[in-house]
Amino acid sequence: MLDFIILFLTVGIPLSSALLLASLGETVNQRSGVFNLGCEGIMSMGAFVGMLIPFLVGGSGKVAWYVNLSGLVAAAAVGALLGLLFGVVVIRFSAPQGIAGIGMQLFATGLAGSLYRHFIGGAQGVAGIDALPIPFLCDLPIVGKMFFSCNPMVYFAFLMVPVVHYLLFKTPWGLRVRACGTMPRAADSMGIDVSRTRYQALAFGSAMAGLAGAYLSVCYAKIFTDTLIGGRGFIAVALVYFGRWSPVGVLGGALLFSLAQALQLAVQAYGFSSFPYEFLVMLPYILVVVVLVFVGKSKHVGPAMLGKAFNREMRT
Amino acid sequence: MKKIVFLLAALLMLALSCAAVADSISMAVIYPDTVDDKGWCQSMDNAIKKAIADGYEIDYTPVESVAAADAPNTLDQLAENYDLILVHAATYTAATIEIAAEYPDQIFALGTSDKLLGENIFTYMPMSEETGYINGIIAGMTTKVNKVGIVGSTDGGDSYRYVRGFIKALQETNPDAEYMLSWTGSYSDTVGAGQIGQTFIDAGCDVLVGPAQQAIGALRIVDAADGPVWIGQTTSQLTDFPGCVLAAADYDYSAVVKGVIDRMAEGKTGNECIPLNYNNGGFIYTFSENAELLPEDVKAAAQAAIDNLTAAPNTVDYNSIVLE
């Protein structure tokens, strides 16, 4: 039984990283009052751009670490650009955020697939970034393999939890972001440029989504396909509600979903269940919906002006 | 006089080219993915090009990445303009039956299905239990720890046959061998396949297999790990990952493409299932040249089984397997 528990934890933790990165980014832009359903598409573009640079330099072979790093930086940059483009639509032109987000998702996913076929094509992969066991710690029994033999991006994702918490709750910028999401008119009267702050939050959030996509293509699957993201962008948006707009809550949500996913695979593999596999495949999604129902009754409230455009010339 | 001869020659050439066009079959193929996916769609694309190279006059139009919800509209448009519409995914079955009924003079070919779906619909079905069976023999003979992992897609269609054919051969070849099986519930969940592959490797499996285009996700995990091996379903896996792939079976759908066109030439319009098997050249099996990976006795046993299936198709009783 212990082997079984270790197995699903070892498999589940790395996969939580993509959700964690995207959800942390989404937390920031939702805190500013903008929710981005285009996260899925931005992750797809990040996945493509992240592997494009190492592929162009070294094909499917090994490349220097800084080439892979360049891919990750480029993925974040492209994510930020798409976030700013989304910002122009929903902040400058006050388009409904939900509809604009779906548009961004379709646009970016399609663009990533088209560019992939033009520049790479086929089912090509990259050598990508390998796991980085931490000396001594990786040799610890049980936890060594679970926590200290991971990909560098897994460490980075978990490190971003306190970083984003600090940014949101301990810095003047974080205070401005939260003010813009909760009472933008009051923030405006205090001299805060609401639009600029929301652009900044969107750029940050979308850069994180781009990185999350690049994690999947450069560090995990080491390949790009049109369906690589597989709905994880939408799950990331849901996890922000799940985590009640708190980085620590989002971490819990990402871990819960990923571990549930790993658990259902392990249950299938060990043949513990006589349920049809379709039910097991649904399990993580059902879990998220059930938890969201209960979390919705929580006393913690979200950004009051989430999803609402701000126009300083109007009273609403 | 010269002008008249020239004019007549030009008219003759025009008439000949028109005749050639008239003889060729206009064929559209709708695909669920892209034709360079190194898997399901690419196999069919390659088969059509092979049939053309073999002298079949086909005016071929691929329509890629068609979502199931868009299939009725896409088929409706294609039926107006093509002699033969080949529908290369079982997810389009309902749409094909519906549109084929509206266009009784057009001919459709749908795969994978072994059912008879209508007077103007041919179906085709890879007898994947045969490729699974050969892979199962190799897995049973090469596993050192008697633990084999099957990265499943969905338990239907040719995947259903493949998995059961594999398990049957595994149990016949090596009764001590255990198998682990997980399904992603999709044909294209590359990340999920990778996650299953990692689960199996961590659980101690030393031989992994998996059908569908998503398998590349698991194969990359196997390649990155030091030790486990993979038995593949497309030859490109063998060439791209020579260090860990023991063998691979390619689907050669040209047997289907040629079969449909030959039947159309005979005046048949459908209501028939065309199988894909070793017997009609529908499967091409390739072994790794690396003797350390694939010992000669294993290769010989697999080749003997292929010869048997070529001589006696449809003899793998895959339905006798009940999954644990």
Rg of chain B taking only CA atoms, in angstroms: 22
**pLDDT classification of B10: cutoffs 50, 70, 90:** low
Q: Which residues contact B198 (CB under 8 A, 6 or more apart)?
A: A10, A11, B221
In a shared domain, residues B143 and B242: yes
| Local structure of A181: helix, strand or coil | helix
Verify whether the Cβ–Cβ distance A15 to B191 is below 8 Å. Answer: yes
Is the pLDDT at A161 greater than 90, yes or no? yes
- Per-residue pLDDT, averaged over A15-32, amounts to 94
Tens of pLDDT, residue by residue over A263-311, are: 888 788 777 666 777 777 888 888 878 877 777 666 666 788 888 888 8
Tens of pLDDT, residue by residue over A62-117, are: 889 999 999 999 999 999 999 999 999 999 998 999 999 999 999 999 999 889 98
Chain A residues near residue B203 by CB distance under 8 angstroms = 3, 7, 269-270
**pLDDT classification of B243: cutoffs 50, 70, 90:** confident
**pLDDT classification of B22: cutoffs 50, 70, 90:** very low
Verify whether the Cβ–Cβ distance A122 to B189 is below 8 Å. Answer: no
Domain residue ranges of chain A, discontinuous segments joined by +: 12-229
**CB distance B258 to B211 below 8 Å:** no
In a shared domain, residues B122 and B245: no
Tens of pLDDT, residue by residue over B257-287, are: 999 999 999 999 999 999 999 999 899 899 9
Chain B residues near residue A117 by CB distance under 8 angstroms = 34, 36
Chain A residues near residue B36 by CB distance under 8 angstroms = 117, 121-123
Q: A111-115, A194-198, A305-309, B87-91: which range is least confident on average?
A: A305-309
Distance from CA of A220 to the nearest CA of B (A): 8
In a shared domain, residues B86 and B231: no
Distance from CA of B186 to the nearest CA of A (A): 10
Verify whether the Cβ–Cβ distance B188 to A225 is below 8 Å. Answer: yes
pLDDT, greater one: B138 or B220: B138
Tens of pLDDT, residue by residue over A210-260, are: 999 999 999 988 888 888 898 899 999 999 988 889 999 999 999 988 888
pLDDT, greater one: B242 or B138: B138
Measured distance CA(B25)–CA(A209) in Å, rounded: 47
Verify whether the Cβ–Cβ distance A226 to B240 is below 8 Å. Answer: no
- The count of domains in chain B is 2
- Per-residue pLDDT, averaged over A11-17, amounts to 85
**Residues belonging to chain A with any Cβ–Cβ distance to chain B shorter than 8 Å:** 3, 7-8, 10-11, 15, 60, 113, 117, 121-123, 125, 130, 216, 220-223, 225-228, 230, 232, 261-262, 265-266, 268-271, 277-278, 281
Chain B residues near residue A7 by CB distance under 8 angstroms = 199, 202-203
Tens of pLDDT, residue by residue over B144-172, are: 999 999 998 888 878 889 999 999 999 99
Percent of chain A with pLDDT over 90: 54
Measured distance CA(B83)–CA(B81) in Å, rounded: 7
Does the complex come out with an ipTM higher than 0.90? Answer: no
- Per-residue pLDDT, averaged over B107-132, amounts to 92
In a shared domain, residues B163 and B32: no
Among B37, B183, B194, select the one facing A281 at the smallest CB separation: B183
Q: What does the pLDDT read at residue A197? A: 96
Distance from CA of A1 to the nearest CA of B (A): 12
The mean of the pLDDT values for chain B is 87
Q: What does the pLDDT read at residue B20? A: 42
Distance from CA of B234 to the nearest CA of A (A): 12
Return the number of other C-beta atoms located less than 10 Å from residue A157's C-beta.
Answer: 28
Q: What does the pLDDT read at residue A120? A: 85
Contact pairs from chain A to chain B, CB under 8 Å: 100
- Per-residue pLDDT, averaged over B11-32, amounts to 66
In a shared domain, residues B170 and B311: yes
Residue (of B222, B317, B264, B2) closest to B122 by Cα position: B264
Verify whether the Cβ–Cβ distance A226 to B34 is below 8 Å. Answer: yes
**CB distance B282 to B275 below 8 Å:** yes
Tens of pLDDT, residue by residue over B298-313, are: 999 999 999 999 999 8
In a shared domain, residues B81 and B92: yes
- Per-residue pLDDT, averaged over A132-142, amounts to 85
In a shared domain, residues B115 and B161: no
One-letter amino acid identity for A116?
Answer: Y
Distance from CA of A197 to the nearest CA of B (A): 35
In a shared domain, residues B45 and B22: yes
Q: What does the pLDDT read at residue B2? A: 60
Measured distance CA(B147)–CA(B44) in Å, rounded: 33
Residue B260 is part of a domain; what is its CATH number? 3.40.50.2300
Token reading at B2: 């010269």
| Local structure of B12: helix, strand or coil | helix
**CB distance A97 to A35 below 8 Å:** yes
| Local structure of B30: helix, strand or coil | strand
One-letter amino acid identity for B276?
Answer: L
One-letter amino acid identity for B88?
Answer: H
- Cis amide prior to A171 (ω within 30 degrees): no
In a shared domain, residues B159 and B211: yes
**Residues belonging to chain B with any Cβ–Cβ distance to chain A shorter than 8 Å:** 33-34, 36-39, 42, 65, 149, 152, 155, 180-186, 188-192, 194-196, 198-200, 202-203, 213, 216-217, 220, 224, 236, 240, 324
Chain A residues near residue B234 by CB distance under 8 angstroms = none
Among A123, A261, A269, select the one facing B203 at the smallest CB separation: A269
Look up the domain containing B271 and give its range.
Answer: 2-127+253-276
Measured distance CA(B285)–CA(B307) in Å, rounded: 11
Is the pLDDT at B87 greater than 90, yes or no? yes
Q: A270-274, B58-62, B218-222: which range is least confident on average?
A: A270-274
Measured distance CA(B40)–CA(A249) in Å, rounded: 41
Percent of chain B with pLDDT over 90: 52
Verify whether the Cβ–Cβ distance A130 to B202 is below 8 Å. Answer: no
In a shared domain, residues B160 and B303: yes
Tens of pLDDT, residue by residue over A233-247, are: 999 999 998 888 999
Verify whether the Cβ–Cβ distance A230 to B192 is below 8 Å. Answer: yes
Is the pLDDT at B56 greater than 80, yes or no? yes
Is the pLDDT at B92 greater than 60, yes or no? yes
Q: What does the pLDDT read at residue B19? A: 43
Is the pLDDT at B7 greater than 50, yes or no? yes
Verify whether the Cβ–Cβ distance B39 to A123 is below 8 Å. Answer: yes
**pLDDT classification of A2: cutoffs 50, 70, 90:** confident
